Amino acid sequence: MTKPADTKEKIIDTACQLFATSGFHGVSIREIAKEAGVNLAAVNYHFKNKEGLFAAILIRAKLLFNKEVEALNDGKINAFEFAISIRDVYAKHSDEFRNGFALFLQGEYSEIVETVYDSFEEMGPPGQQVLKDVFQREIPDIGPSAAEWGAQTLLKLLAHDAMFVHTTLYGKACSMMPEYYNEQTQHIFTEEMVRSVINHLTNHHQDIEARFKSE
The answer to whether residue 85 is domain-embedded is yes
pLDDT of residue 192: 94
CA 47 to chain centre: 23
Neighbour-count burial of 207, counting CB atoms closer than 10 A to its CB (0-12 exposed, 13-18 middle, 19+ buried): exposed
The answer to whether residue 45 is domain-embedded is no
The answer to whether residue 118 is domain-embedded is no
The answer to whether residue 100 is domain-embedded is no
The answer to whether residue 39 is domain-embedded is no
pLDDT of residue 198: 95
pLDDT of residue 146: 95
pLDDT of residue 116: 60
Q: What is the DSSP letter of 107?
A: G
In whole angstroms, what is the distance from residue 45 CA to residue 162 CA? 35
Domain count of the chain?
Answer: 1
The answer to whether residue 190 is domain-embedded is yes
In whole angstroms, what is the distance from residue 122 CA to residue 177 CA? 41
CA 199 to chain centre: 24
Which spans in the chain are helix H?
A: 4-22, 29-36, 40-47, 50-70, 79-92, 94-104, 110-117, 128-138, 144-164, 168-176, 183-214
The pLDDT profile of the chain, 215 residues, written as one tens digit per residue, is 456 668 999 999 898 888 878 878 888 999 999 999 999 999 999 988 888 888 888 788 778 887 888 888 887 889 999 999 888 888 777 676 667 666 666 655 556 666 665 555 555 667 788 889 899 999 989 999 999 999 999 988 888 887 777 667 777 877 888 887 777 888 888 899 999 999 999 999 999 999 998 86
Contact status, residue 46 vs residue 10, Cβ threshold 8 Å: no
Q: What is the DSSP letter of 93?
A: T
| Domain of 132, in residue numbers | 67-94+125-214
Contact status, residue 32 vs residue 14, Cβ threshold 8 Å: yes
Cα end-to-end span (Å), the chain: 60
The answer to whether residue 186 is domain-embedded is yes
Residue 49, phi-psi category: left (phi > 0), alpha (psi -120 to 50), beta (remainder): beta
**Residues in CB range of 87: below 8 A, 6 or more apart:** 158, 161, 162, 190, 194
The answer to whether residue 16 is domain-embedded is no
Query: pTM for this structure?
Result: 0.73
In whole angstroms, what is the distance from residue 56 CA to residue 62 CA? 10
pLDDT of residue 108: 53
pLDDT of residue 206: 95
